[in-house]
Structure 1
Amino acid sequence: MENIAWYINVLFGATVILSIWLFMKAARYSKTALFLILGWALVQTVLGLSGFYENSSSLTSRFPLLVVFPLIFLGSLFFTTKGKAFIDGLDLRWLTIFHIIRIPVEITLLFLFLGKAIPEAMTFEGRNFDIFSGLTAPLIYYFAFVKKNIGSTLMIIWNAVCILLLLSVVSSAVLSLPERYVQFGFEQPNIAVGFFPFLLLPALLVPLALFSGAAAIRQLIVKKTVTL
């Protein structure tokens, strides 16, 4: 994408590295988790660099290849014995602080909009309020785990709101793909997700963020049930 400065690629690349590191902290450096994350990132990186997603006429039909597998796999963990054991063993503190990645992601999205690679609706200048999750994550972490002034109920609500905000921007991203953006009134198609490294946003960061929120909610509900 010619209109995107090199430092935006660097910023997003650093965000991907930060995201993997924070999630690995939450996963207590699970070798299996690291292998799966890096393996999936490598597969999508190779496809992206090969130009597999770049053609706007085929991007919409190929987009599911970025997101379906990780969403199905991560979702299945909530329904298997080993999966639930993995989720319950995650560090809730790091699952919480993980959401700070949404700050550099939102900055990246703003620059992608300015570079005419995504619609304004996907930024915080449009209909994307997901930056709220990133800005409040340090506060939730501090008051929940340092000051211990926040209980499970409020944390469940916060995580649920974070999931809903993320789903909102995801819906804008899907509806503004090249073959759909005119139908839904978007002024600019979402073509950024067809290019490396930005394709790692739907392929890796979004699934990890959704999973982190859902895993945290499960842990908090289990904790409340055990306490009762």
Structure 2
Amino acid sequence: MDITFLLIAILALFLFSYEIKDAKSIMLLAIWSSIVAFLGLKGVFVEKPHFLAIVLVGTTLICLTIIQLLKNRRFNIKTLLLIHILRIPVEFILYKLFISNQLPIIMTFRGYNFDILIGLCALLILIGLKFFDQSKLKSIIRIWSVFGMISLSSVLLMGILSSPIPIQQFAFDQPNVAVLYFPFVLLPTLLVPIVFMSHIFI
């Protein structure tokens, strides 16, 4: 499961880097994710969970910086849709983490996480683009992207508020401890930002 998730995160980074083709943005993501991964491997977040909150602030700033750098660029929607399809296997990994008592049920498709549907819709849109011009699917893509961002934001918020950090609000009986460990610490610090930025660029 750990290796599968790590491969998904690396694939998402590869697809995103391949599409944006911006050295500064790629360097920011690569360096930041390497630092976070190193801290995760060293068990820093397990010993001091509040450090994760600081890292999430840094992740947000990097995400906003990249959006600013690429705000006037046009991208191939098909490559970005491939990134969203990766949400499907991620959901099954989250469910396995729930079964192993590493995160609350609300963060899975049995709770309030609808990301698996967003991923499946991305797959359907990608198939649709083989038969229809992108302009004909523009409204559908826009509506899907809005719902996708809402779903992603809600899951991220649930993940943060159920983590054992000072701002934890619920899931005290089974908190989101998975993100304190490598490689799952890359979920909120690499994978989620890439998926969110892919929505923005679509």
TM normalised by structure 1 equals 0.80
Alignment of 1:37 with 2:29, yes or no, is: yes
**C-alpha separation between the residues in 1 aligned to 2:65 and 2:29?**
16
CA contact (8 A) 1:181 1:187 kept: no
Match 1:137 to one of 110, 122, 131: 122
Show the counterpart of 1:225. Answer: none
Is 196-205 or 34-43 further displaced after alignment?
A: 34-43
Counterpart of 2:12 in structure 1: which amino acid? Answer: S
**C-alpha separation between the residues in 1 aligned to 2:165 and 2:18?**
39
Cα displacement string for residues 136-183 of structure 1 (whole angstroms, at most 9, x for unaligned residues):
112112213542274322211111111111111112111111257984
**C-alpha separation between the residues in 2 aligned to 1:41 and 1:185?**
27
Alignment of 1:17 with 2:10, yes or no, is: yes
Show the counterpart of 2:195. Answer: 209
**C-alpha separation between the residues in 2 aligned to 1:84 and 1:179?**
33
Match 1:160 to one of 125, 128, 146: 146
**C-alpha separation between the residues in 1 aligned to 2:131 and 2:23?**
29
* 5+ residue gaps, structure 1: 1-7, 217-228
**C-alpha separation between the residues in 1 aligned to 2:9 and 2:71?**
26
- In structure 2, the CA distance between the partners of 1:72 and 1:183, relative to structure 1 (3 Å rule), is closer
CA contact (8 A) 2:121 2:144 kept: no
Task: Please report how far the alpha carbon of residue 101 of structure 1 lies from its aligned counterpart in structure 2 after TM superposition.
Answer: 1.2
Alignment of 1:70 with 2:59, yes or no, is: yes
**C-alpha separation between the residues in 1 aligned to 2:177 and 2:169?**
16
**C-alpha separation between the residues in 1 aligned to 2:31 and 2:167?**
32
**C-alpha separation between the residues in 2 aligned to 1:182 and 1:200?**
19
TM normalised by structure 2 equals 0.89
**C-alpha separation between the residues in 2 aligned to 1:46 and 1:74?**
20
CA contact (8 A) 1:25 1:91 kept: no
Show the counterpart of 2:104. Answer: 119
* 5+ residue gaps, structure 2: none
**C-alpha separation between the residues in 2 aligned to 1:94 and 1:159?**
15
Aligned residues: 201
**C-alpha separation between the residues in 1 aligned to 2:174 and 2:101?**
7
Taking only aligned residues, the RMSD between alpha carbons, in angstroms, comes to 2.1
Alignment of 1:48 with 2:40, yes or no, is: yes
**C-alpha separation between the residues in 2 aligned to 1:77 and 1:17?**
18
Percent same amino acid among aligned pairs?
Answer: 32
**C-alpha separation between the residues in 2 aligned to 1:116 and 1:181?**
20
